[in-house]
Amino acid sequence: MPTLVHLQLRPFARAFLSSCRPEATRARTRLSLTCRAQSTQASAKAEASRPSSSATKGNAQPTQTEKETLPWGEYLAIRKRKRRWETALTIPTTIGGFFAGLSYFGNLEMDPTKPIFNIDPMFVYGAATLGCAGLGYLIGPIIGSTIWRLTHRRLMRLIEQRDKEFYQHIVKNRVDPTAQSATNPVPDYYGEKIGSLHDYRQWLRDQSKFRKKAAGFLSED
């Protein structure tokens, strides 16, 4: 049974416990609020950093892809312009070579009594003049290609890569030239006339027609 002393101490113990409970409750509340605030700040920082990193990746991906590859349509258009450059430079170089040969050999003295390799000098000089024109015809595409390469230096690596792939496609799909005949010539064996995707599809159809016609001609024989 509780003694008199115990009965006298109970009110003091209850008062002491009641005074301690608010302090413990306040401490727990402060700790929980601090933890919640820290977790909220950490999640906010994580959410803020995620869009920026994804946006960076999204912006870098197309640029890297564009640098690594060149679309076939754009490549064929560039290839067509290159051919035009070569053709455009061929005309003036041919004319220039002809007039250069004419001005040089036309001013030389010709002695009919002294043939060159047993040929009349007039014919020799005339042939040499035509040779100068032919030399200009051969040099023209080289000059045009050189100028074109200088104007497309930034894309040369991608163009050369596509050139290799394009050549592989041509070699794989072109016909056997030994099957040609007078009525069935080989259609654009090197694919030089291809300047667009439409031209490439037409080239494939021409190759197929050649094969069918060559197979029918051989079967008739």
113-169 pLDDT per residue, tens: 787 878 888 888 899 999 999 999 999 999 998 998 888 888 889 999 999 999 999
Confidence at 20, pLDDT banded by 50, 70, 90 = very low
Whether residues 95 and 124 fall in one domain: yes
pLDDT at 48: 47
The answer to whether the Cα torsion of 110, 112, 113, 119 is positive or negative is positive
Does residue 43 sit within a domain?
A: no
Q: What is the pLDDT of residue 214?
A: 87
Count: domains in the chain: 2
Distances (CA, A) of 64 to 76, 89, 113, 172: 21, 36, 73, 30
Within-domain flag for 140: yes
DSSP letter at 176 equals P
User: Tokens 């592989």 identify what position?
Assistant: 168
Sign of CA dihedral 207, 208, 209, 212: positive
User: pLDDT digits over 78-88, tens only?
Assistant: 999 999 988 99
Task: Please tell me whether residues 78 and 150 are part of one structural domain.
Answer: yes
Q: Are residues 139 and 191 in the same domain?
A: no
Q: What is the per-residue pLDDT for 49?
A: 46
Average pLDDT over residues 18-25: 51
Tell whether 90 and 146 lie within a shared domain. yes
Residues 136 and 182 in one domain: no
Task: With a cut of 60, say whether residue 92 has pLDDT above it.
Answer: yes
Q: Are residues 87 and 133 in the same domain?
A: yes
Task: Supply the pLDDT for residue 134.
Answer: 95
- 28 within domain boundaries: no
Q: Look at residues 114, 131, 157 and tell me which one is the last residue of a structural domain.
A: 157
CA distance 160 to 151: 15
Residues 76, 128 share a domain: yes
% of the chain surpassing 70 pLDDT: 67
Examine the domain organization and report whether 141 and 78 are in the same domain.
yes
Give CA–CA dist 131/128, Å, rounded.
5
Does a structural domain hold residue 166? no
Residue 36 structure tokens: 């919640």
Examine residue 39 and state whether it is found in any structural domain, yes or no.
Answer: no
Q: Is the Cβ–Cβ distance between 167 and 149 less than 8 Å?
A: no
In this predicted structure, the answer to whether residue 7 has a pLDDT above a threshold of 50 is no
Q: How far is CA 176 from the centre of its chain?
A: 30
Residue 202: inside a domain, yes or no? yes
Interacting residues of 69 by C-beta distance below 8 A, sequence separation 6+: 158
Tokens linked to 60: 């870098």
What is d(CA 154, CA 4) in angstroms, rounded to the nearest whole number?
103
pLDDT above 70 (res 61): no
Verify that 134 and 199 share a domain, yes or no. no
Same structural domain, 184 and 135: no
DSSP per residue, 141-172: HHHHHHHHHHHTGGGHHHHHHHHHHHHHHHHH
- The sign of the dihedral angle between the CA atoms of 31, 36, 37, 43 is positive
- The answer to whether position 7 is within a domain reads no
Do 152 and 178 share a domain, yes or no? no
Look at residue 32 and tell me if it is in a domain.
no
Same domain flag for 119 and 191: no
* Domain encompassing residue 128: 69-157
